[in-house]
């Protein structure tokens, strides 16, 4: 189970039962015994950016759980009604208060164990003044040598940063697909 199990039907409020629906399905779902609604649960999308100014990358120190006090790229759950790039831009605004121009897609990672897909876009910072929101203790620029590798909040952030610096050395940015199992 990736998330808190569904307890009550979203349609009528009756307590649900986890079972394989009778329609040829192969997975257990939360099924409502009263109105027969089947609740499908699918992976969530996390979107963010790799904001760059010259040789340095912007990281945010998390003021929220999980991984309070650890460093991350600006990222968060995609919202309904926005594209992946719009979500990545919104999270960069909310967490870092940075001025930037969005760049291309850089990494797409399936985090199978937690049922998430993480996507990062490159972003070009316009200056080094930040106004971090309440989810961020501090927003700071790091050179590759300064990155606190042991204090990175999430594996997808570390994987993205390593590939970013490697591509920059190679002189060309690729789009990276990675399955984290």
Site residues (vs Zn ion, CB under 5 A)? 9, 11-12, 14, 32, 34-35, 37
Which residue's CB is nearer to Zn ion, number 5 or number 43?
A: 5
Direct distance between the N- and C-terminal alpha carbons of the chain, in angstroms, rounded to an integer? 15
Min dist CB 31 to Zn ion, Å, is 9
Residues listed for the chain: 181
Min dist CB 24 to Zn ion, Å, is 21
Contact 70, 62 (CB under 8 A): yes
Angle at 17 (CA atoms; ends 15, 19), nearest 5 degrees: 165
Min dist CB 7 to Zn ion, Å, is 12
Which residue's CB is nearer to Zn ion, number 19 or number 155?
A: 19
Q: In what order do the strands lie in the sheet with 17-19?
A: 17-19, 29-31, 38-39
Min dist CB 13 to Zn ion, Å, is 7
Residue 30 contacts by C-beta under 8 Å, 6 or more apart in sequence?
A: 5, 6, 9, 16, 17, 18, 38, 39, 41
Which residue's CB is nearer to Zn ion, number 14 or number 83?
A: 14
Which residue's CB is nearer to Zn ion, number 31 or number 96?
A: 31
Which residue's CB is nearer to Zn ion, number 29 or number 56?
A: 29
3-class state of residue 16 by DSSP: coil
Min dist CB 41 to Zn ion, Å, is 16
């Amino acid at each position: 189970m990736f998330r808190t199990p569904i307890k009550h039907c979203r349609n009528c409020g009756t307590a649900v039962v986890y079972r394989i629906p009778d329609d040829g399905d192969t997975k257990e779902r939360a099924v409502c015994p009263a109105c027969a609604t089947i609740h499908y649960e699918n992976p969530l999308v996390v979107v963010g950016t790799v904001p760059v100014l010259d040789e340095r990358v912007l990281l945010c120190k998390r003021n929220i759980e999980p991984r309070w006090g650890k460093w991350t790229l600006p990222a968060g759950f995609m919202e309904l009604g926005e594209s992946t790039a719009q979500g990545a831009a919104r999270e960069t605004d909310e967490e870092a208060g940075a001025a930037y121009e969005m760049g291309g897609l850089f990494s797409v990672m399936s985090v199978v164990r937690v049922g998430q897909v993480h996507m990062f876009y490159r972003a070009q910072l316009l200056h080094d003044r930040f106004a971090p929101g309440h989810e961020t203790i501090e927003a700071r620029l790091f050179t590759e040598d300064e990155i606190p590798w042991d204090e990175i909040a999430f594996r997808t952030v570390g994987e993205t940063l390593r590939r970013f610096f490697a591509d920059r050395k190679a002189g060309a940015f690729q789009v990276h697909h990675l399955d984290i199992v």
